[in-house]
Structure 1
Amino acid sequence: MTESEPHSRPEAESRPPQHAVRQLDARSLRGLAHPLRMQLLTALRHGGPATASRLAEKLGESSGATSYHLRQLAAHGFVEDAPGHGKGRERWWQAADGGVSFDEQLLKDPDPAVRGAADLFLHEIANQHTRELATWIAGKNTWSEPWTSASDMSDWTLHLTPDLALDLIEKMHALVESYRALAPAEGTPEREQVRVHTHLFPTHTA
């Protein structure tokens, strides 16, 4: 399951607290729907606590820009101070939750600003997935043979009804979630963070 879930079925109840999923509403969506803010939040979720300057270096931005957008994320409850850090002058930040759940009804909100934010949010998720795949492909030869063999880029074409499509999505998500409990202990050889992307959408036949 991705950290950003463009569907309307939050699953926070089945996750441990550090992986809790936050349901986006119109206000919080407007606070998040900015490319740099979404990249900052993703960087904190994947890389752990960091300062504005460290995130600026990682993302190729100015520390002024990252500081401003981190404060905006904090105002909407997406990031918070990282306990156990901040011994220096710089403020350390961490993600406040494990992911967000997106309600498709936001795309039909009567406020055009909300609809625009919803559209930007989904496009940035797609851009993030593309960047992650491109980064993996570019650096694939730096990984061990077991990891290159364990990677996957697959796609299928099926013929389904909406009910069957929803059933498939829920089963895929449940399967991926089940692997959280199987995570090996830190320090286990070849233990790495992995990213799993799923996309399911209808297409018109030619």
Structure 2
Amino acid sequence: MQFYAAAMDLTSITPSPAGMKALSHPVRLRMLGLLRAEGAATATTLAARLGLNTGATSYHLRQLAQHGFVVEDTERGNARDRWWKAAHQSTRTAREEHPDQATRETLDALVQSVAIVMTEQLQRAVEERGQLSDEWRNASTFSDWGIRLTPARARALVQALADTFDDVEEDDTEDAADFIIQINAYPRPGTATGSEGEQS
């Protein structure tokens, strides 16, 4: 899994289980995403962007810093006005073939938070669609595909898609904008676990 990645990602972090647990909070994911996308900021600035008080923001920043996700930007601010920046451009999780139960639960908690933040971003994109130019509307898509695959072929497909995005070179022209690509790939709920229930 990879999230909040730049197309030309040169730095990434693969957190330990303790780091994944610390990151398993939607507010911290939003905060880290803002620092990666928009650059360094103070706790006060982040608090205003996220609708939090500065005390809560400072606490979450300390948690992120403790596990190496953010660092103090020593080129800005002072003792009273500390600036923070992302330490890496993306977070990747290691793929373990047979992780222990605690690691599985920690990763699942992180994925749950990622899903919350990604869903919020997707909803905001839909809400802002009416303000986009025709060019950006036509360049965007809200689509899904359903195909029948084995786990090995499904994993290979996801890797091929990720490799494609890793090879994309960024544009540095006036008409360029940050373009988000989300990959959500999973067995249709109820088809691979043996669980029952109505499916849409």
1:102 aligns with 2:93: yes
1:202 aligns with 2:191: no
Query: Pick from 38, 44, 57: which aligns with 2:35?
Result: 44
* Separation of aligned partners in 2, 1:42 and 1:128: 10
Give 1:116 shift.
Answer: 4.2
* Separation of aligned partners in 2, 1:62 and 1:117: 27
1:90 aligns with 2:81: yes
Answer 1 or 2: which has greater helix percent: 1
* Separation of aligned partners in 2, 1:79 and 1:193: 21
Alpha-carbon distance change, 106 to 128 in structure 1, aligned in 2, over 3 angstroms:
farther
Aligned residues with identical type, % of pairs: 31
More moved, 136-145 vs 61-70: 136-145
Match for 2:175: what amino acid? Answer: E
Query: Pick from 141, 147, 165: which aligns with 2:154?
Result: 165
Q: TM-score, normalised by structure 1?
A: 0.82
Count of aligned pairs: 190
What is the root-mean-square deviation in Å for CA atoms of aligned residues?
A: 2.5
Residues 21, 106 of structure 2: 8 Å contact kept = yes
Match for 2:161: what amino acid? Answer: M
Q: In structure 2, list runs of 5 or more residues that go unmatched.
A: 193-198
Aligned to 1:100, the other structure's residue is in SS state strand
Correspondences of 1:3-42 after superposition (within 5 Å):
3=3, 19-42=10-33
Give 1:143 shift.
Answer: 2.0
Match for 2:167: what amino acid? Answer: S
1:130 aligns with 2:115: no
**Deviations, residues 47-78 of structure 1 (Å, cap 9, x unaligned):** 21111111111111111100111011111111
Residues 106, 118 of structure 1: 8 Å contact kept = no
1:64 aligns with 2:55: yes
Q: In structure 1, list runs of 5 or more residues that go unmatched.
A: 6-14
Residues 31, 73 of structure 1: 8 Å contact kept = yes
